Amino acid sequence: MAIVAVSVAPLGEGASVGDHVGAALRVLQGQDRVRYELGSMFTTLEGELPAIFDLILQMQEAVFAHGAVRVSTVIKVDERRDRDARMEDKLGRARAALGDDA
């Protein structure tokens, strides 16, 4: 199981790229293999790494299909093989370390 942070954005498309990013996010909405959580700077994906990499490629292609001629994709992978890793578990441990029960 892997948790992956991904950011897919066009380059050279002006200051606002929300429509292009929306095209990438629609790829995630249209699938059920990978859990995801939208963030302000990155989208966090959770699932099997091959499925995640396939989705990232589809997200990038969606931005190109939306009219971008250059796309920048940033990926950060956290893969554990000793136990399942879940997004909410990582957040819970961080909050517990801060003494925050919320």
With CA atoms as reference, report the closest residue to 20 among 38, 8, 28.
8
Crossing angle between the packed helical segments 18-29 and 49-65, to the nearest 10 degrees: 140
For every one of its 102 residues, what pLDDT tens digit does the chain have, with 9 covering 90 and above?
899 999 999 998 777 888 989 999 999 999 999 999 999 999 999 999 999 999 999 999 999 999 999 999 999 999 998 988 898 888 888 899 998 765
Q: Check residue 102 and give its pLDDT.
A: 56
Sequence ranges of the domains in the chain: 2-98
Q: Check residue 15 and give its pLDDT.
A: 75
What's the CATH architecture for 2-98? 2-Layer Sandwich (3.30)
First CA to last CA across the chain, in angstroms?
A: 25
pTM, to two decimals: 0.87
